[in-house]
C-alpha cells in the first residue's frame, strides 16, 4: 500500500517538469519561426524595393498634362524632369511640381501618380490683370503683382498701370491691383488705365474719359462700394473715393 502511494507521488511530482519542458520547446519553436518569418519579410521587402525603385518593372508609361494653355506641354514636361520609362515609385512628385512652378506663367502645379504607369501633371496658369510699361514695352502682371510675361503692345481689355516719378512700380502696383480685385467685373472692364505718382495718389481712368481718385491701396472694398454707389448717379466725370467715409463726385 505504501509503495503504490509513493509511485503516485513520483508521477505527480514529474508533471510540472514535463509541462515546463514542453513550454520551453514551444517557445524555442516559436522563436525559430519568428526569426524565419522576419528574415522572409525583410527579403521580400528588399526585393520589392529593388524591383519598384531600381527597375522599370512598374515604369512611367505615360504623362498627362492638365490645365496648360499658354505654356506648351513640351516645356512643362522638360521642366518637370519626369522621364518616361523611369520608376513610378521613385518619382518625387513634390520636387517635380516645384520645378514646374518655376515657369513664370505657372501659378501652381501638382503631380500625382495614376497607377500603374501614368503621371498626371495639373497646372494653374497665372491670369493677366494689368500691364506695366517698361523699356521693352509692357510687363504682364497677375492679380498678385507677379510679372510673368512681356509684350510689345497694349493688350485689349487689360488696364495699363503707369507709374511716374518719384513713385516706383513696386510701391504703386500692389495698390492699383488691390483696386482691380475689389471692383466688380462691370466696373473693372471699364477701366482703361491707372496712373500714380505716389502710392497714395492712384487714379483710375475709364474708357469714356471719367476719372476716379482712388487714393492708396488700403480700404479697397469700402472704396469699391462707394464707387458703385456714385456711378449710379448720372452726370459725373470725376469721382473721389480716396476717403471712404466721404465719397464725392463732380
Chain segment 37-82, per-residue pLDDT in tens: 777 676 656 565 555 555 556 889 999 999 999 999 999 999 999 9
pTM, to two decimals: 0.70
Quote the CA–CA distance of 134 and 144 in Å, as a whole number: 18
Report the Cα–Cα distance between both ends of the chain, in Å, rounded.
Answer: 132
Q: What percent of the chain has pLDDT over 90?
A: 61
Selection from 95, 118, 96, 107 nearest residue 70 by Cα: 107
Quote the CA–CA distance of 29 and 184 in Å, as a whole number: 78
**All three cell numbers of 161:** 498701370
- Ranges under pLDDT 70 in the chain: 1-13, 15, 19-20, 22, 40, 42-57
Which residues neighbour 207 within 8 Å (Cβ) at sequence distance 6 or greater? 190, 191, 192
Question: What pLDDT, in 10s, does the model give residues 192-219?
Answer: 999 998 899 999 999 999 999 999 999 9
**All three cell numbers of 128:** 493677366
Amino acid at each position: 500500500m505504501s509503495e503504490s502511494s509513493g509511485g503516485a507521488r513520483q508521477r505527480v511530482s514529474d508533471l510540472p517538469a514535463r509541462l515546463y519542458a514542453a513550454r520551453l520547446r514551444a517557445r524555442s519553436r516559436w522563436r525559430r519561426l519568428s526569426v524565419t518569418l522576419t528574415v522572409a519579410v525583410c527579403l521580400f521587402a528588399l526585393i520589392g524595393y529593388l524591383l519598384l525603385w531600381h527597375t522599370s518593372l512598374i515604369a512611367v508609361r505615360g504623362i498627362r498634362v492638365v490645365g496648360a494653355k499658354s505654356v506648351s506641354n513640351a516645356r512643362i514636361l522638360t521642366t518637370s524632369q519626369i522621364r518616361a520609362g523611369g520608376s513610378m515609385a521613385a518619382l518625387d512628385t513634390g520636387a517635380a511640381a516645384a520645378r514646374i512652378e518655376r515657369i513664370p506663367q505657372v501659378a501652381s502645379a501638382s503631380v500625382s501618380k495614376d497607377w500603374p504607369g501614368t503621371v498626371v501633371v495639373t497646372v494653374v496658369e497665372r491670369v493677366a490683370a494689368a500691364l506695366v510699361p517698361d523699356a521693352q514695352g509692357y510687363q504682364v502682371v497677375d492679380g498678385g503683382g507677379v510679372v510673368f510675361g512681356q509684350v510689345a503692345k497694349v493688350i485689349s481689355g487689360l488696364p495699363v498701370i503707369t507709374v511716374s516719378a518719384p513713385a516706383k512700380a513696386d510701391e504703386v502696383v500692389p495698390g492699383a491691383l488691390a483696386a482691380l480685385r475689389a471692383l466688380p467685373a462691370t466696373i473693372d472692364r471699364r477701366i482703361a488705365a491707372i496712373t500714380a505718382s505716389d502710392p497714395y495718389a492712384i487714379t483710375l481712368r475709364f474708357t469714356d474719359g471719367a476719372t476716379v481718385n482712388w487714393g492708396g491701396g488700403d480700404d479697397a472694398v469700402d472704396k469699391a462700394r462707394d464707387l458703385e454707389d456714385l456711378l449710379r448717379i448720372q452726370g459725373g466725370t470725376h469721382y473721389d473715393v480716396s476717403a471712404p467715409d466721404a465719397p464725392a463726385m463732380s
